[in-house]
């Protein structure tokens, strides 16, 4: 009788251990519905930044964030409301001189036309890269502190990949924030 009890006890222990292992494995798997509910689109991720408390600290960081916003702006999945929020966020990076060159409405209208042209041409921003930190040029004048650097965008148009290089000029404002004064294609 003792042998039967020992076999029975061994089987019960085996079943309990197997159940615990199985339960542990199942509880470690992420719930697909839950993770999908909490995943943000690239556009929503880039819009999460609160510039009033987390403003980029260097010219390179400002241009990087601007490039992230630009890449998100041209995402075909965006709604008009998302594009409006992206436009607002990007204008917060502009120097007052650049900002005052056009109204929010004019900027948004121009941006919407440009996004529509990108869609028609089958263009997309694939990625971007910035000048190395050592390649950022600084200059002080009577008018303020300036920085210049390059951002190289990898673009796709109808399956072909090409490069678009932009030269950015930034100026430090009264609060010590680097703001985009302008840019041009090179």
Domains of the chain: which residue ranges? 55-185
Share of the chain above pLDDT 90, in %: 62
Tokens 């900027």, residue located: 107
Alpha-carbon gap, residue 67 to 137, rounded angstroms: 19
pLDDT value at position 39? 81
Residue-wise pLDDT tens digits, 100-155: 999 999 999 999 999 999 888 888 899 999 988 778 999 999 989 999 999 999 99
DSSP-based three-state secondary structure for 141: strand
pLDDT value at position 29? 59
Tokens 């880039």, residue located: 46
**Interstrand relation of 178-185 and 160-172 (parallel, antiparallel or unpaired):** antiparallel
For the cut 70, the answer to whether the pLDDT of residue 31 exceeds it is no
What pLDDT band is residue 40 in, cutting at 50, 70 and 90? confident
pLDDT value at position 89? 95
Q: How far is CA 116 from CA 73, 111, 134, 140, in A?
A: 11, 9, 37, 40
Alpha-carbon gap, residue 37 to 35, rounded angstroms: 5
For the cut 90, the answer to whether the pLDDT of residue 6 exceeds it is no
For the cut 50, the answer to whether the pLDDT of residue 35 exceeds it is no
For the cut 60, the answer to whether the pLDDT of residue 30 exceeds it is no
Domain spanning 55-185, CATH architecture: Roll (3.10)
Q: Which residues contact 129 (CB under 8 A, 6 or more apart)?
A: 151, 152, 154
pLDDT value at position 36? 47
Give the mean pLDDT of the chain: 86
| Phi and psi angles of residue 124, each rounded to the nearest 5 degrees, phi first | -155, 140
Give per-residue burial for 17-51: e unless 16+ CB within 10 Å, then b: eeeeeeeeeeeeeeeeeeeeeeeeeebeebbebee
Tokens 């966020």, residue located: 89
């Amino acid at each position: 009788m003792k042998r039967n009890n020992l076999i029975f006890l061994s089987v019960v222990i085996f079943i309990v251990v197997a159940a615990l292992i199985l339960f542990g494995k199942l509880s470690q798997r992420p719930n697909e519905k839950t993770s999908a509910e909490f995943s943000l689109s690239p556009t929503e991720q880039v819009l999460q930044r609160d510039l009033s408390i987390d403003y980029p600290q260097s010219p390179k960081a400002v241009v990087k964030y601007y490039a992230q916003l630009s890449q998100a702006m041209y995402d075909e999945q965006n709604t008009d409301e998302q594009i409006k929020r992206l436009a607002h966020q990007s204008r917060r990076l502009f120097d007052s001189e650049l900002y005052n060159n056009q109204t929010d409405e004019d900027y948004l209208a121009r941006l919407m036309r440009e996004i529509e042209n990108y869609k028609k041409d089958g263009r997309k921003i694939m990625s971007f890269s910035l000048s190395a930190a050592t390649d950022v040029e600084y200059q002080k004048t009577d008018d303020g502190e300036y920085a210049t650097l390059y951002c190289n965008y990898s673009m796709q148009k109808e399956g072909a990949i090409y490069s678009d290089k932009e030269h950015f000029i930034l100026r430090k404002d009264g609060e010590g924030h680097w703001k985009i004064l302008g840019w041009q294609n090179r």
